[in-house]
Amino acid sequence: MAYLDNAATTPMYPEAVAAMAGLLADPGNPSSLHASGRKARRVVEESREKVARALGARPAEIVFTAGGTEANNIAIKGIAWNQRENDARRNRILVSSVEHHAIVDPVEWLRQSDGFTVTWIEADAKGVVTAQALRNAIGTNPEDVALVSVMMANNEVGSINDIASLTAVTREFGIRFHTDAVQAPSWIDVNFAELGVCAMTVSAHKVGGPHGVGALVISRDCSVTPLIHGGGQERDVRSGTLDTPAIVGFATGIEIAVGQRDENVARVKALRDDLVSRVMTLVPDAIFNGSIENRLVNNAHFSFPGCLGDSLLMLLDAKGVECSVGSACNAGVPQPSHVLIAMGADPELARCTLRFSLGHSSTKSDVDALIAALPEAIERAKRAGVPKPLLEVGVR
C-alpha cells in the first residue's frame, strides 16, 4: 500500500504507541485526589509541558480537547460569545474563504442561529490571505468585529499564511485573532508567543499522535465562554475527564515531530518535488494548484481535466494508492472544493482534483507506486467523464 493521505491522518510514531500502551490499564482519573489520580495528573501535566515547548507556549496556555474540530468550535463560539457579552457591538466574525469546515460550519451556525454576521476574507489565486485583504474585510467599522480566524496552513492546497503579519493588523484595532494550525507543526515553526494570536488549534493525529485528542492554545488575556459545562477541568474552558493515554500519545508525537522537523522537511520536500515533476511529465495537462514555494513541503495538489476526482481516487485505491479528493460530498453527490472556488478555479475543474500528502513515514516507493498506477487511472476516469452536479457551489 502507498499511503499518500498524511494531511488527513499521519501514522503514529511507534514511541507514541508505546507510551499510550503503558497507561491504558491504569485506573487513575487526573481529577481524583488519591495516589492513582495524582499519578495521572502528573503524567498529564508533564505532557502539557511537552506540548507547550513544542509550540512555543506556556503550559498554562494549553487546553486539551477531543481534537481539532472541538478546539475550533470552542475558539470560534467561545471567543465570539465572550466578546459580544462584553461589548454588544462586537457581533461580526471575519473568516478566510479557504478555511476547513471545522471553522466554516461553526461560523455558519453562529450566523444562522445566533445572530452574528460574517465577513469572508478573500484569498488570492494561491490560497493565501494578505494583510490588505484582512484590512479590506475589517473595513471602516472595526469596533463591531468579535473575532478573526485565518488558518496557518491550508489543508487542501498547503498554502501558508503569514499569521504574524495578519495579527499586526488586528492589534491596531484590539481584535481577537484565532488560527487553525492543525496542518503546521510537523512542517513549519510554530511559536505561539511570537504569532500574536489569542488562540490556536492543534491536533494530535496530524503530528504522529492518536486520534481523538488535540489542544486549544489560549493566551492568558483571552477569555472564552465554555461550550461544555461540568467538572471545570482545563481552566473551565473544556470540562470533562481527561484521556490520559491519548494526551501522552499526543505529547510524544508532537515532541518527535518537532524534534525531527528539519530532517523530515528536507527528505519529504525532495519526495514531493519528485512526485510533482513525474506527475506533470506523465500527465501534461495536469494543473498544479497553489504555490510551489509558499506551501507545506508535504503537499501536492492537482487538477486533472476531464477526470472526476472521486473516480480517480477509487481507481488508485484499487491499485493500492491512497490519497484524497479536494472536495466535499453532499448526499453522495461530489461538489467542487470551496477552497478552489475561492481561489478562482473553474467549478468543473475544481471537481477534478486529487491531493497527495506525504509524511514522516513516506518513501520513494510510495511515489513510484503512484506513478505506476496513475496512467491507467487517468485513462479510465477520462472515459467515464465528469457528470454534472445536482447542486452548484457558489463563491462566497
List active site positions.
Answer: 329
Half-sphere exposure for 86 (CA within 13 Å, toward CB): 14
Supply 14's cell numbers. 511507534
Q: Is 236 helix (H, G, I), strand (E, B) or coil?
A: helix
Cβ count within 10 A of residue 293: 7
Q: How far from 281 is each of 70, 91, 194, 215, 369, CA to CA, in Å?
A: 41, 50, 41, 41, 16
Which residue(s) pair with 202 in the sheet? 215
* Single-letter amino acid code for the residue at 53: R
* Single-letter amino acid code for the residue at 207: V
Q: Give yes or no for a contact between 343 and 124, defined as CB atoms under 8 angstroms apart.
A: yes
E-assigned strand segments in 51-125: 62-65, 92-96, 117-121
Which residue(s) pair with 216 in the sheet? 63, 201
Please name the helix (run of DSSP H) or strand (run of DSSP E) that holds residue 155, with its range, or none: none
d(CA 266, CA 273) in angstroms, rounded, equals 11
Backbone dihedral region for residue 97 (phi beyond 0: left; psi -120 to 50: alpha; all else: beta): alpha
Q: Which residue from 138, 225, 137, 216 is spatially nearest to 174, judged by alpha carbons? A: 138
Cβ-based neighbours of 281, under 8 Å, separated by 6 or more: none
- CA 303 to the chain's CA centroid: 21
Q: Is 359 helix (H, G, I), strand (E, B) or coil?
A: coil
